[in-house]
Amino acid sequence: MNIFLKQVFIGLPKTVGNKEATIPMEREWTSAIFKEPITRFCLDGKNGVSR
């Protein structure tokens, strides 16, 4: 069976929100959920995707 990747999304952890917020839902938080598509050639391997 051949595997073909149509599109790859990558992203580094990003911090959003307000460090000084008093409202819980506006507090600062960090997540790597933010991803963007790769538009250039890259290689993948054991250690992830090369940039």
Q: Is 25 exposed, middle or buried (0-12, 13-18, 19+ CB in 10 A)?
A: exposed
At 8-42, the pLDDT tens digits run: 888 899 999 999 999 999 999 999 999 999 888 77
What pLDDT does 34 receive?
A: 92
In this prediction, residue 2 has a pLDDT band, given cuts at 50, 70 and 90, of confident
Q: Is the pLDDT of residue 50 over 70?
A: no
Are 17 and 29 in contact, with CB atoms under 8 Å apart? yes
What pLDDT does 15 receive?
A: 97
